[in-house]
Structure formats: structure tokens, C-alpha cells
Amino acid sequence: MQIAILALQGAFQEHGAALDALDASHFEIRQRKDLDRPFDGLILPGGESTVMRKLLLDLELFHPLKVRIQEGLPVFGTCAGLILLARDVEGGASCFGTMPIVARRNAYGRQLGSFHTKGEFGTYGTIPMTFIRAPYISDSDQGVEILSTVNGKAVAAQFQNQLVTAFHPELTKDCTVHAHFLQLVSNTLPQKAAC
């Protein structure tokens, strides 16, 4: 299993460290030729979503990545990554638009509105959550599973092979969310028959 991490800005190195803790192979995507390497899953880190969208287009990464996501490539977006995947964005433009959710940008205010809390994640129990200029999911279509809510707002969700969090699990020592993503990736790989 090989995971690609979009490394245009944001906490891509911290995502790599989380994957290292789980012994998962990974590499960074910085330019078009990096897409020539095979990969089974993709992480879209936090950052500034409008800047990331512009860089994806300028570096000719947008179209080939969108096609792969539409074809079922497992993808995990944190914070700005959630915004990039959202079909609709309140107060901004959509990018990939492959996940049937509505994202509200900067829902918790500016940098000073950043905070840490703990919350439930799916069936895994309570995990630490770090929010930095975070969005939340204001609406979602049928088929989207909400995995976490904080103060009544949806902050993590899954739709088919797409996983998003408004918070930054890569900035904590808890690898629950990354492990969940790796299981999602594993479930899409061809299973080898036992002899």
C-alpha cells in the first residue's frame, strides 16, 4: 500500500509522520510528474483552500487527481482538504466537488478562534481534535456518514471512499483517524487468495 500526500502547503509533513507511526509507505506530490508513481490513497492536508485550488490548477494536478477520485481512489481531506472535496462551499468556490457535502469556510472564526477539544470519532471512541480556522459540514446528502460532531456541528464524515475532517488529527499523537483511512484504502485493494 502506498499513500500520496499533496505537499503544496499545510501540514503535509505531519501527515507523513502519522503514516510513519503506522508503518505505511508514502510519498509527496509536488508536481505533475509525481503522479506517475503508483499510489492507492491520497491525503489532502490543511492549508488555505483558495491557494491550494490555484496551485492544483497551475501545476496541472487538478484534473488527473479529480478523475482518480471520481474513479474511486480513497482520499482523506483535513480542514482545507475537506473544503477541496466538498460539492458546495459557503463563502467560497468548490474545487474537486466530489463529496456531497456543503462546507462552511472559517466557521469558527480566524486564527484566534482555533481550539482543542475531544470528541467521538465513529465507533472508535473519544479522540483529541485540533481546530485551526476550521470549517464544518453544514449540510450533507443521503449516503454521507457523519463520524463526528462538536457542539452540534458535523466535523468528520465519510462518503464511499472519501473521508474528511474539519480538525487536524495529524497535529496530535493519536493515529485513530489515519488508521481508519488506511483501513479504507486496504478495503479497496485486490485481495490475494490464500493457497
pLDDT in tens, 14-64: 999 999 999 999 999 999 999 999 999 999 998 888 888 999 999 999 999
Give the separation between CA 123 and CA 129, rounded to whole angstroms: 16
Q: Which grid coordinates are listed for 50? A: 483558495
C-alpha cell at 80: 482545507
- 157-179: average pLDDT: 95
pLDDT in tens, 64-90: 999 999 999 999 999 999 999 999 999
Residues designated catalytic: 79, 168, 170
Question: Does position 195 have pLDDT exceeding 90, yes or no?
Answer: no
Question: What pTM was computed for the model?
Answer: 0.92
What is the CATH topology of the domain spanning 2-188?
Rossmann fold (3.40.50)
β pairing state of 99-104 and 136-140: antiparallel
Cα–Cα distance for residue pair 116/21, rounded to 1 Å: 22
User: Cα(72)–Cα(9) distance, rounded to whole angstroms?
Assistant: 24
The pLDDT, as a whole number, for residue 188 is 87
Nearest to 12 by CA among 74, 60, 69, 78: 78
